[in-house]
Amino acid sequence: MKQKLIGFLLTLAVTTLVVAADSELAYPPPLKPAVQEAKAARLAAELLSRFHYKAVPLDDALSSKMFDQYLKALDPEKVYFLQSDIDRLAVGRARLDDAILGEDLRAPFEIFNLYERRAVERMAYARSLLHKGFDFKSDETLMIDRKDQPWPGTEAESLELWRKRVKNDWLRLKLAGQDDAAIVKVLDKRYDNAAKRLGKIKGSDAFQAFMNAYTTTIEPHTNYLGPRAAENFDIAMRLSLAGIGAVLIDIDGYATIRELVAGGPASQSGQLQVGDRIVGVAQGETRPVDDVVGWRLDDTVALVRGAVGSTVRLDILPVDQGPDARVKTVILVRKTITIQDSAAKAKVYSVTTGEGKRLIGVVTLPSFYEDLDGLRKGDKDYRSAGRDVAKLLADMKAQNVDGILIDLRNNGGGSLREAIGLTGLFVGKVPVVQTRNAKGEITVEKNVNTDVAWDGPMGVLINRASASASEIFAAAIQDYGRGLIIGEPSFGKGTVQTVADLDKIAKNASPVYGEVKLTIAQFFRVNGGTTQLRGVIPDVGFLQGSDDSLFGESSYGNALPWSSGG
């Protein structure tokens, strides 16, 4: 296999020479893997093969899937590579496992280098078209969403595709009221900046792209975090849009809103919803917009971050519309978001029914938060979802409310311990959820700390963005027949993740290998079923606001299946 891998590299080297026909282009220097990256890949593979809940051997079959995932990550819209590139690269589709196990990452790096060269060529061609202008008198069509389309078969087909893409960009600006001179200036800067960003990509970026192609091929919630990403884990994974209050993930090259933080500008604006895609970012109210489609997630984050009180403009592609839909612009003022902003809140409503007036207490819970630092320090007044809700329930009980509604819409989860304790406030000291690990061992998680705080009528309000701990709570309330579940089917994330520090495993004094977030267990409901994939199905359903195929666990092609037997 080693000789075949070397042969694959030689093929790629020839390809690189062919691509370099235009010596005037400023190609970035080829990236090379570092020794520690090859060792980190091997260490991560051993960890994933042995301890992942869905333990998949790193073999030729997985390598083939990894190859497809890697190309999808690099060129999701199939606008950079040619079909001839793919055909040549496909010689090594079953050898990426050898690259990892043999600690020789030249092959995936050569793929990345070819992608960079193609991207530089496309940006240069796009800029060359601008001085010619465009004629909009003839009818032409452009397929915007190309995920399911083939790669261009020839160089001529690729150039024609890019001519139409540039023409479309021009038309969008023209419809926005800009004159031709301004359009040339804006697009030239956009394409030039895109080319310059390619030159700033480091070997560590290429390595992380390849490793995440490997990890997400196994299962969608498994990721590799390089040393830089691991150091900024809280920002990258929890406060992806620091300053506006949203959690951001990458889906098919789009920076996609996964969660809106209560109290944050994004949530308070009322103009954004989970699943919306950010396609452009601008500073202030007048500066030009940077097109961020296809950008690395942390590069997009860097644009969205800023000083408290400053303004950011976001071009948004709504979750329920296609990629060729008209974008909308949302203007937000950044702010510092505190735990108080996202803490549980309650309000009592007077409702008139056929039986007279009723007082309904509504508790809005944005997340299952827990002040771990305060808990560790022994602070008797530390904040947590369960403690805060218990106080709100006592207050509403004193007001003689007739019923309670727990609003978990857009609650993406949080502390499992808080989900269990909060459930106990309504059902008492009973089993709440079961977990099954990779060995098939089942652990029953029971509430042992909280007593019933409300035994009257109750309901739970959920939507598609209610995930993880929210689903555990809603499922337990439903299984015990304790209250009605109202709204949309939930997200469907019924798995447990942990973060493994590769440097600690290797006993390194300094961080060089990074971390792996991997799925280690699956949740099961009290009734033996799971929230995985299907989510919690409400007893009283509302009309869904978005297509399940666009957002939620079922939107992932390789999510763990629904099962029972926990």
Q: Which of 333, 366, 389 is the last residue of a domain?
A: 333
Q: Can you give the CATH number for the domain in which 303 is found?
A: 2.30.42.10
- Domain check: are 286 and 329 in the same one? yes
Task: Pick the catalytic residue from 267, 342, 466, 468.
Answer: 468
Domain total in the chain? 3
414-430 tens-digit pLDDT: 889 999 999 999 999 99
Q: How confident is the model at residue 529, as a pLDDT? A: 92
- Is residue 288 over pLDDT 70? yes
Residue 275 counted as domain residue: yes
CA 367 to chain centroid, in Å, comes to: 17
Q: Which of 300, 333, 366 is the last residue of a domain?
A: 333
- Domain check: are 7 and 143 in the same one? yes
Residue 257 counted as domain residue: yes
- Domain check: are 147 and 55 in the same one? yes
Averaged pLDDT for residues 263-283: 89
Averaged pLDDT for residues 168-196: 89
Q: What is the pTM of this model?
A: 0.79
Q: Return mean pLDDT, the chain.
A: 88
pLDDT band at 549 (very low <50, low <70, confident <90, very high): low
- Is residue 317 over pLDDT 60? yes
Q: For residues 515 and 398, give the distance between their C-alpha atoms in angstroms, rounded to a whole number.
A: 49
Q: How confident is the model at residue 547, as a pLDDT? A: 67
Q: Which residue has the higher pLDDT, 239 or 515?
A: 515
- Domain check: are 14 and 62 in the same one? yes
- Domain check: are 482 and 405 in the same one? yes
Residue among 212, 242, 216, 238 at smallest CA distance from 226? 212
- Domain check: are 401 and 299 in the same one? no
Q: How confident is the model at residue 458, as a pLDDT? A: 98
Residue 338 counted as domain residue: no
- Is residue 340 over pLDDT 60? yes
422-475 tens-digit pLDDT: 999 999 999 999 999 989 999 999 999 999 999 999 999 999 989 999 999 999
Q: For residues 417 and 251, give the distance between their C-alpha atoms in angstroms, rounded to a whole number.
A: 29
The H-or-E segment that residue 482 falls in is none
Task: Pick the catalytic residue from 276, 493, 503, 554.
Answer: 493
- Domain check: are 214 and 286 in the same one? no
Q: How confident is the model at residue 249, as a pLDDT? A: 79
- Whether residue 493 lies in the annotated active site: yes
Task: Pick the catalytic residue from 169, 276, 407, 479.
Answer: 479
- Domain check: are 126 and 227 in the same one? no
- Is residue 130 over pLDDT 80? yes
- Domain check: are 151 and 25 in the same one? yes
Q: Which of 218, 233, 253 is the last residue of a domain?
A: 218
Q: How confident is the model at residue 509, as a pLDDT? A: 86
Q: What is the DSSP string of 551-562?
A: SSGGGSTTPPPP
Q: What is the DSSP string of 221-269?
A: T-EEE-HHHHHTHIIIII-TTTTT-EEEEEETTEEEEEEE-TTSHHHHH
Residue 340 counted as domain residue: no
- Whether residue 479 lies in the annotated active site: yes
**Which residues span the domain enclosing 453?**
345-555
* pLDDT > 90 in the chain, percent: 60
Q: How confident is the model at residue 275, as a pLDDT? A: 86
- Domain check: are 211 and 252 in the same one? no
- Domain check: are 83 and 207 in the same one? yes
